[in-house]
Amino acid sequence: MATRTTEDSVPGGWARVIALVAVIAVPLGLLGGLASWIASSLGYMPGDSMERVWNTPYDRPADTHGNAAWLVGDTVVRSRYDAVTAFDAGSGKRRWEYNPPRTADICATSRAAAGSVALIGLGDDDKGCATVAAIDLGNGRELWRTARGPADGRLGGGEDLLAVGGGLAVGLPGDRTVSAYDLRTGAPRWKAAVPKGCAPGGVDASAEQVLAILVCDEMKLAAYDPADGKARWTVPLGDRRPIGTDATVGFLAAEPAVLGVRMPESYGTGTNSFVSFGPDGRRRALIESVGDNAGIPVGLQGRVAVDGGKLFADVGGKVVAYDLASGDAVWRESVSGGITALHAGGGRVTVLTRERKGLDQLYVHDAATGERKDHRTFNRDADDGNAELAGLLRHKDLLIAVRRGKDVRPFSGYATW
């Protein structure tokens, strides 16, 4: 069991004791049932509750760039524009902090970590996001650093500027190429030119392929061989209708290739969607925010996840699982309250909701069937900021909430009881 910090010990201890005594001591019948109902509804019912067991300190005001969160082994790490900081995932205690050069900001990060390594982009107002560094998240040591090249309009900082996968660090150096480096040493591996008239707008990588979003006369997706950078295929993101270059496109996964497309509000018939591609570049699934799917979140973080050949999303307050081979909805399950974060992994889908002020709900569903496996109430107040989560992480039996912004704690650890 994780330990509770002295500074952030869980309040309401007397309430918990009273609830336990009431459940145990009140005679069977109406009073016993009433006591159980009250304890359950307040998050103090044994076997039906969640409690916060650790908190990280409140963060300083953050900026809009350089934000990320990774879980590596028993270390949870958050990046922001001015530092990368690691905490023990079991206790919340701070382990190490990496600070960029004095005049530089962390302007971009890799969405995922490979092994224990993540990438950060470094830059300042004059040179843009011009440097790439690899950080060992196990100890905070910088493994290598290399010049990325000059910023070039659309090639500035972003969530998909850097990627890791298949032993590679992949980035956009600013010269309209896709470049790959050895993940551990930074040694150059290959550089691939994009088609004439196009500019790379984002990258992702796996052991099977390196992918790049291309900004051409329309938005396209290209795949490269991770061994030598040889181009495999380039296809339009849109099917019958081209997707214009003013759309916002981002990766959810590289294997299989899954992208989210957010259309600008000026599009009269434009629809937010998710699209997946097979290893040969053929479109496999198109999931559009229309009809029963209306309400798919336009953002790609927090309430959308890809795992096991499925995409899981908050769709109008329901958890929906989609088959990435066909785009069909495999299952839909209702939850109570508004969904604030969603996590998929290990054969289960974990969802946090805000049902009413002061109480959050936890739902766990079987990823294959949607069958509900667990439902619990948090015994915490609204000051946790769980209505504004950036994501969820799972560490052993702990659930870790991720937050970003002003006057929030970047991480909190919760356990069942």
CA–CA gap between residue 364 and residue 332 (Å, rounded): 13
pLDDT at 251 over 70: yes
> Contact, 383 vs 52, CB < 8 A?
no
User: What value does the mean pLDDT take over residues 262-267?
Assistant: 71
User: Rounded mean pLDDT of 250-277?
Assistant: 83
What is the identity of the amino acid at 355? Answer: E
Q: CA 232, CA 212: separation in Å to the nearest integer?
A: 11
Residue 2 has pLDDT above 50, yes or no: no
In this predicted structure, the answer to whether residue 329 has a pLDDT above a threshold of 90 is: yes
Beta strands in 59-156 (DSSP E): 68-72, 75-80, 83-88, 94-98, 105-109, 117-124, 128-136, 141-147
Counting Cβ atoms within 10 Å, is residue 117 exposed (0-12), middle (13-18) or buried (19+)?
A: buried
pLDDT, averaged across the chain: 85
What pLDDT is attached to residue 406? 79
Q: How far is CA 242 from CA 85, 111, 155, 220, 236, in A?
A: 42, 27, 22, 9, 7
Entry pTM: 0.85
Residue 272: pLDDT over 50? yes
Lowest mean pLDDT, pick from 126-130, 234-238, 305-309 = 126-130
How far apart (Å, rounded) are the C-alpha atoms in residues 251 and 47? 38
Q: How far apart are CA 129 and CA 121, in angstroms?
A: 6
Half-sphere exposure of 132 (CA within 13 A, CB side): 35
pLDDT band at residue 387 under the 50/70/90 scheme? confident
| pLDDT more than 90, % of the chain | 59
In this prediction, residue 408 carries a pLDDT of 87
The CA distances from residue 191 to 113, 224, 227, in Å, are 22, 10, 11
How buried is residue 274: exposed, middle or buried, by Cβ count under 10 Å (0-12/13-18/19+)?
Answer: buried
Quickly state the pLDDT bin for 1 (edges 50, 70, 90). Answer: very low
The total number of residues written for the chain in this structure: 417
pLDDT band at residue 355, thresholds of 50, 70 and 90?
A: confident
Quick check: 35 pLDDT over 60?
no
Cα–Cα distance for residue pair 225/211, rounded to 1 Å: 9
Between 298 and 237, the more confident residue is 237
Read off the DSSP letter of residue 5: P
State the Cα–Cα distance between residues 404 and 123, nearest whole angstrom: 21
Tell me the sheet residues that pair with 394: 399
Cα separation, 104 vs 96, in Å, equals 19
Tell me which amino acid residue 271 is.
T
Helix (H, G, I), strand (E, B) or coil at 349: strand
Asked which of 235-239, 306-310, 368-372 is least confident by mean pLDDT, the reply is 235-239
In whole angstroms, give the CA distance from residue 64 to residue 405.
8
- Provide the greatest CA pair distance for the chain: 79
Residue 185 pLDDT greater than 90, yes or no:
yes
Binned at pLDDT 50, 70 and 90, residue 167 comes out as: very high
Residues 275-286 pLDDT 10s: 999 999 999 999
Spatial neighbors of 27 by CB under 8 A, at least 6 apart, are none
Q: What is the mean pLDDT of residues 319-331?
A: 96
Please tell me the predicted confidence (pLDDT) of residue 300: 60
Candidate from 10-24, 136-150, 273-287, 343-357 with smallest mean pLDDT:
10-24
41 conformational bin, left if phi > 0, alpha if psi -120 to 50, beta if neither: alpha
Residues 115-157: tens digit of each pLDDT: 899 999 998 766 678 899 999 999 999 999 998 755 443 334 4
Residues 6+ apart with CB under 8 A from 29: none
Find tokens 């929906």 and name the residue.
Answer: 320
Number of H helices, E strands in the chain: 2, 32
Q: How confident is the model at residue 84 (pLDDT cuts 50, 70, 90)?
A: very high
What pLDDT sits at residue 173?
A: 82
CB-count exposure of residue 396 (10 Å: 0-12, 13-18, 19+): exposed
Query: How confident is residue 381, by pLDDT bands cut at 50, 70 and 90?
Result: low
